[in-house]
Amino acid sequence: MAKSIRERLSGNEAVATALKQINPDVIGAYPITPSTEVVHYFAQYVADGQVDTEFVAVESEHSAMSVCIGAAAAGARTGTVTSACGLALMWELLYVASGHRLPMTLNVINRALSGPININNDHSDSMGARDSGWIQLYSENNQEAYDNNFMALRIAEHKDVLLPAMVCQDGFITSHAIENIELLEDADIRKFIGEYKPERHLIDGKPLSVGPYDTVQFYFEHQYQRAQAMIKSKAVVKQIFKEFGDLTGRKYDLIEEYKMEDAERAIVVLNSSAGTAKVVCDQLRAKGEKVGVLKIRLFRPFPAEEIAKALSHVKAVAVMDKADSFSAVGGPVFADVRSACYELANRPLMVNYIYGLGGRDVPVENFFKVYEDLNEVIKNGKTGNIYRHVGVRGV
Amino acid sequence: MSSMLEIRWHGRGGQGAKTASLLLADAAFDSGKFVQGFPEYGPERMGAPITAYNRISDERSPLHSNIYEPDYVVVVDVTLLDAVSVTSGLKKEGAIIINTNKSPEELKPKLEGYTGRVYTIDASSIAEEVLGNRSLSNTSMLGAVVAVSKCIPEGKFMEDVKTSLNHKFATKPQVIEKNMTAIERGMKEVKSA
Amino acid sequence: MIYVKDANNNYNWDEVSPGGNITEGGTSLQINTGDWRIYIPKFFESECIQCMLCFPVCADSAIPVNKDGKREDFDFKHCKGCGVCYKVCPKIDKAITWEQEDK
């Protein structure tokens, strides 16, 4: 087992530390709240000679992602950090990065998208980017954000995957909160991430064109390839999670099943509020109530089978969405979880809650209410309104 | 989680309530605890009321919400008593610690019937005398909080906070001793009703 | 490996290169774009004064210049017949003509 270093860091410090230890070849970045600190810290590492990274201070996030794409095509280990509108400005390039099968990591410090303008946390930024062909990992706390960075890099660079990966964590709630964390030693990280040796890249001395026009005759085949890579990546994620667990003792899986074995009511949630939901779950369990929490760690590719299996014995499920898709029938996590359960012989009753938008605090009361509502759903034997909100005034 | 201590800080932008909460988190961490230190973020500007939080426990707390029923409340700026409901949710077996030159008895009428312990500390005057600036009250407040809450053994705390300050003020070593004095005075001079 | 000269619509998804990368250099040389022509230029060497106005304007690099610095006849595998060379030719009795191609 690798040696562990006891520390206390904010989520942003944890990401900056992980990036320092990875020592990427190229970082192109533009600061935006609440991810700005990571860029500050990293620029300082560069100035102090603590990393060998070529740091490109660009004029926008569009350029930041373009730098990463160029660097990755040239065989560099690369990545960036952003939030909210910064991610939105990267939009077209996100598809370019994954479409050209360029591995890199992007830390998304989740923040609400304007408008009206808001700088606080929700998931409308990364949830909007869920269909851009990127691997998406979500982090409950600073520890997971730190650990996910190393695993994301390995997943992205794996020859069966070759897709860029996002590591998401909640802006301010975890990014600016100091918490205990166990760090790894540089040597163990070097060993775990190894050297990046892409099969081909732009400056390997042989002719190569990246990003040619893809005609009608070939585009569809390339999209099928990308979809196949996403399908294959699930096994790779599992393998790399296991390797990391063997190294650190921190066992991760695609989903985390918290007291789910005999649960009759379950909450499905991702990122920081999963912790708060677990506290509520514990308190209800202490009163003998059969409740559980299913935390999604990997959102892309979507672990549909695992989620369906975990929910197969549950009577009623509440899926929490910290982003609205404005489909008028529920949020993005709900749509996927509900669809995943369609094949189940005994489908649980399932409702959706939009919660915590724009930094609205998510106290334990939100989850007590949701568990209580699920009792009502079970008693009635039907869901009633599936598209619900918790924590918004007047509802 | 029964051993968890929750602290809520009230200050105004620029007074260092956030820094104090992070210093406390640092010191508690150094004494072997699990900590959380986080501010409530908004459009911050100098003088606007701000809130910061600490959770200190023997096991990792997975809670990621603000603190609504704190064990202790720390008020860095006494004028907030007229602007914010600082005792909201404060446990009656807990305590409130206020930066003021007034006595606890004088302030009680402003505490919306709070029946728990009330402590005062003239941290701004200590800051002026020791650090030459009334607005640098956060270190003596930190001392007062540790003395009242006993969240860290005092001797251990003095050792650990020195380490933290050495780290934080590596480029300004002249302020370290002064801040240590401010912390010590905060611990000694805090008084209850 | 699929080479550009062999590229056709029969390759399946697992045969095309990831991301559409092209692992050869100068591949446009291998593509016959000459058959896109409707109009065709003709070069009359005896009329040409080697003024060198035509070859830089050719969008398809289809006017070869030899090592003596003199232009030669068109590369008809790549000439798309746009007629720009004809337009810039300063000779009153044109060294370049441009007419509908008789295919």
* A381-384 CB contacts, 8 Å cutoff, 24+ apart: A381/A349, A382/A349, A383/A349, A383/A350, A383/A351, A384/A351
Reported confidence tier of residue B160, pLDDT bands at 50, 70, 90: confident
Residues of chain A contacting C23 with CB distance shorter than 8 Å: 200, 206-208
Average confidence (pLDDT) over A313-325: 98
Residues of chain C contacting A224 with CB distance shorter than 8 Å: 13
Q: Specify the CATH class of A255-390 in words.
A: alpha beta
Contact at CB, B25 and A120, closer than 8 angstroms: no
What is the DSSP code string of B133-190?
A: -TT-THHHHHHHHHHHH--S-HHHHHHHHHHHHHHHTTT-THHHHHHHHHHHHHHHH-
Q: What is the architecture of the domain spanning A4-248?
A: 3-Layer(aba) Sandwich (3.40)
Give the Cβ contact number of residue A43 at 10 Å.
17
For residue B41, give the nearest of A120, A180, A272 by CB distance. Answer: A120
Q: Which of A178, A272, A360 would you mutate first to test chain B, the one with the most B CBs within 10 A?
A: A178
Touch between chain C and chain B: 3 or more Cβ pairs under 8 Å: no
- Read off the amino acid at residue A298: L
Which residue in A has a C-alpha nearest to residue B60's C-alpha?
A: A180
Q: What is the mean pLDDT of chain B?
A: 92
Q: Tell me the shortest Cα–Cα distance from B69 to chain A, in angstroms.
A: 11
A103 burial level (CB within 10 Å; 0-12, 13-18, 19+): buried
Q: What is the mean pLDDT of chain A?
A: 97
ipTM over 0.85: yes
Give the Cβ contact number of residue A145 at 10 Å.
30
The domain limits of chain A are: 4-248, 255-390
What does each C-alpha distance from A79 to A104, A210, A279, A287, C41 come to in angstroms? 5, 18, 34, 47, 51
Q: What is the pLDDT of residue B15?
A: 80
Give the Cβ contact number of residue B42 at 10 Å.
15
Whether residue B1 is predicted with pLDDT greater than 60 in this model: the reply is no
Q: Which helix (H) or strand (E) holds B98?
A: strand B95-99
CATH numbers and ranges of domains, chain B = 5-192 (3.40.920.10)
Distance CA B71, CA B79 (A): 22
Residues of chain A contacting B59 with CB distance shorter than 8 Å: none
Q: Does A86 touch chain C (CB under 8 A)?
A: no
Q: What is the pLDDT of residue A160?
A: 97
Distance CA B174, CA A235 (A): 57
Whether residue C48 is predicted with pLDDT greater than 80 in this model: the reply is yes
The residue ranking higher by pLDDT, A203 or B135, is: A203
Cβ atoms of A108 and A87 within 8 Å: the answer is yes
Average confidence (pLDDT) over A337-351: 97
pLDDT per residue over A68-121, tens digit each?
999 999 999 999 999 999 999 999 999 999 999 999 999 999 999 999 999 999
**Percent of chain A at pLDDT above 90?**
99
What is the DSSP code string of B107-136?
A: HGGGSTT--SEEEEE-HHHHIIIIIS-TT-
Distance CA A351, CA B127 (A): 55
CA A83 distance to own-chain centroid: 13
- Read off the amino acid at residue B30: D
Give the Cβ contact number of residue C28 at 10 Å.
10
Average confidence (pLDDT) over B150-160: 88
Q: What is the pLDDT of residue B44?
A: 65
Paired with A319 in beta bridges are A268, A352
Cα A107–Cα A108–Cα A112 angle in degrees, nearest 5: 170
Average confidence (pLDDT) over A253-273: 98
Q: Which of C8, C14, C17, C21 would you mutate first to test chain A, the one with the most A CBs within 10 A?
A: C21
Whether residue A375 is predicted with pLDDT greater than 90 in this model: the reply is yes
Q: Which helix (H) or strand (E) holds B6?
A: strand B5-12
Distance CA C46, CA C67 (A): 19
pLDDT per residue over A106-125, tens digit each?
999 999 999 999 999 999 99
Tell me which residue has tokens 């672990």.
A303
Touch between chain A and chain B: 3 or more Cβ pairs under 8 Å: yes
* Residue C98, token pair as written in the block: 């441009």
Cβ atoms of A260 and A295 within 8 Å: the answer is no
* Residue A317, token pair as written in the block: 């499920």
Average confidence (pLDDT) over B102-124: 95
Paired with A5 in beta bridges are A183
Q: What is the pLDDT of residue B2?
A: 54
The domain limits of chain C are: 1-31, 32-103
Q: Tell me the shortest Cα–Cα distance from A165 to chain C, in angstroms.
A: 16
Whether residue C1 is predicted with pLDDT greater than 70 in this model: the reply is no
Comparing A51-60, A260-269, B8-17, which segment has the lowest mean pLDDT? B8-17
Q: What is the pLDDT of residue A182?
A: 98
pLDDT per residue over A191-223, tens digit each?
999 999 999 999 999 999 999 999 999 999 999
Give the Cβ contact number of residue B126 at 10 Å.
27
CA A63 distance to own-chain centroid: 22
Going through chain A in order, the beta strands assigned E by DSSP cover: 4-9, 26-29, 54-57, 78-82, 105-110, 135-138, 165-170, 178-184, 255-258, 265-269, 291-296, 298-300, 316-321, 349-355, 387-390
Cα dihedral: B155, B158, B163, B166 (round 10): -160
pLDDT per residue over B50-101, tens digit each?
999 999 999 999 999 999 999 999 999 999 999 999 999 999 999 999 999 9
Q: Does A212 touch chain C (CB under 8 A)?
A: yes
Name the DSSP letter for residue B40.
P
Distance CA A19, CA A13 (A): 10
Average confidence (pLDDT) over A49-69: 98
Instruction: Say if pTM beats, i.e. exceeds, 0.90.
Output: yes
Q: Which helix (H) or strand (E) holds A70?
A: helix A61-73
In this complex, the chains that touch B, judged by 3 or more CB pairs closer than 8 A, are: A
CATH topology of domain C32-103: Alpha-Beta Plaits (3.30.70)
Reported confidence tier of residue B155, pLDDT bands at 50, 70, 90: confident
Contact at CB, C20 and A214, closer than 8 angstroms: yes
* Residue A50, token pair as written in the block: 């603590």
Whether residue A298 is predicted with pLDDT greater than 60 in this model: the reply is yes
Q: Which helix (H) or strand (E) holds B51?
A: strand B49-57
Q: Which helix (H) or strand (E) holds B53?
A: strand B49-57
pLDDT per residue over B10-43, tens digit each?
998 888 888 889 989 998 998 899 999 999 877 6
pLDDT per residue over A349-371, tens digit each?
999 999 999 999 999 999 999 99
Cβ atoms of B163 and B174 within 8 Å: the answer is no
Of C103, C81, C98, the C-alpha closest to C43 is: C98
Phi/psi class of residue A350: alpha, beta or left (left: φ > 0; alpha: ψ in -120 to 50)? beta
Cβ atoms of B118 and B111 within 8 Å: the answer is yes
Residues of chain A contacting B34 with CB distance shorter than 8 Å: 179-180
Whether residue C3 is predicted with pLDDT greater than 80 in this model: the reply is no
Contact at CB, A228 and C13, closer than 8 angstroms: yes
Sign of CA dihedral C10, C16, C19, C20: negative
Q: What is the pLDDT of residue C93?
A: 82
